[in-house]
Amino acid sequence: MNTHVMRYRGLALFALGVVIAVSACSPSGRKRAYSAERVTIESGGWRIVGDFVVPHAGAPTAAVVLLNQAAGDRAVYVELADQLARCGIASLRLDLRGHGESTNLGRFDPRAGTSILDGSEQDIVAAVTFVTHDRRIDPGRIGFVGASYSGELMMEAARLTKFGAAYVALSPGSLSDASITAIDREHIPFLLVVSRHERHVAEVVQAVRNQSRMAELLELNGNEHATDILVTHRGLAEIIAVWFRQQFE
């Protein structure tokens, strides 16, 4: 199996596609040594709070920026951050503006509209600056995980800076034509993860199928949305971590 061109229809099948790479990561019973710190990043008056996990290594490591879904927070990424560390990959999991602990200028309330989220792509730009200025991180190997609204958001941020080394989108609520076109134009490894019976993502999935030859699709049973998929499907965090490891090698 070539994990760069196949479109997957189930977790077990996808796992077969990366089984060789699993051996490159520490087994679940042994943790790699890493440092973890709570960080605050300034972005347009917002104090963006996150957790920065960096494996102990003799050379700069790859890193993945983990972005919350709407009305969610960074806590859901604890397991994925651990799996990335086992694969020798750093991570910065964030509460974007209006979420979690990043609420110094207000808190997002879906009933009040989305205007408080305007400019959230700048939070990601600031996070990229923070990560790439850390000497422990290889600035040429930065990946992203976006969930729901932050799936499109991470691609908007990429157009403001430069595109990262790999992207995972968990149930993106939308992906613009500009974002989908960029996948093939920029030769970006891109993994789209959705639930097979999930509402509101069918149009995005079809658009990616129609417009991109490079994007990979992982459809899982159920109807969970965005980071809820990580909670429901045990083992998915490890598979995503291994997928990133493959792209960074």
Distance CA 102, CA 232 (A): 26
CATH class of 11-248: alpha beta
What was the pLDDT predicted at 16? 35
What was the pLDDT predicted at 21? 40
What was the pLDDT predicted at 32? 63
Distance CA 65, CA 124 (A): 8
What's the pLDDT tens digit per position in 61-73? 999 999 999 999 9
What was the pLDDT predicted at 33? 85
Task: Collapse the DSSP code of 90 into the 3-class scheme (helix H, G, I; strand E, B; otherwise coil) and give the result.
Answer: strand
Q: Of 150, 184, 189, 160, which Cα lies nearest the Cα of 65?
A: 150
Q: Tell me what the mean pLDDT of segment 151-177 comes to.
A: 95
Percent of the chain with pLDDT strictly greater than 90: 83
**Residue 13, CA distances (Å) to 109, 222, 247 in order:** 38, 16, 19
What was the pLDDT predicted at 25? 76
**Average pLDDT of every residue of the chain:** 89
Residue 172 has pLDDT above 50, yes or no: yes
Distance CA 138, CA 242 (A): 18
Residue 20 has pLDDT above 80, yes or no: no
Task: Collapse the DSSP code of 22 into the 3-class scheme (helix H, G, I; strand E, B; otherwise coil) and give the result.
Answer: helix
What was the pLDDT predicted at 199? 82
Distance CA 215, CA 188 (A): 8
Least confident of 12-26, 167-181, 189-203: 12-26
What was the pLDDT predicted at 106? 97
Q: What is the DSSP letter of 208?
A: H
What was the pLDDT predicted at 90? 98
**Residue 50, CA distances (Å) to 78, 99, 127 in order:** 11, 11, 9
What was the pLDDT predicted at 23? 45
What was the pLDDT predicted at 26? 67
**Number of Cβ atoms within 10 Å of the Cβ of 210:** 8
Q: For 115-230, list the strands marked E by DSSP.
A: 137-147, 166-170, 190-195, 216-220
Residue 15 has pLDDT above 70, yes or no: no
**Residue 203, CA distances (Å) to 54, 80, 200, 245, 246 in order:** 37, 27, 7, 29, 28
Distance CA 241, CA 213 (A): 23
Residue 88 has pLDDT above 80, yes or no: yes
Could you tell me the pLDDT band of residue 135, with boundaries at 50, 70 and 90? very high
**Number of Cβ atoms within 10 Å of the Cβ of 147:** 29
Chain CA centroid to CA 17, Å: 20
What was the pLDDT predicted at 58? 86
What was the pLDDT predicted at 28? 54
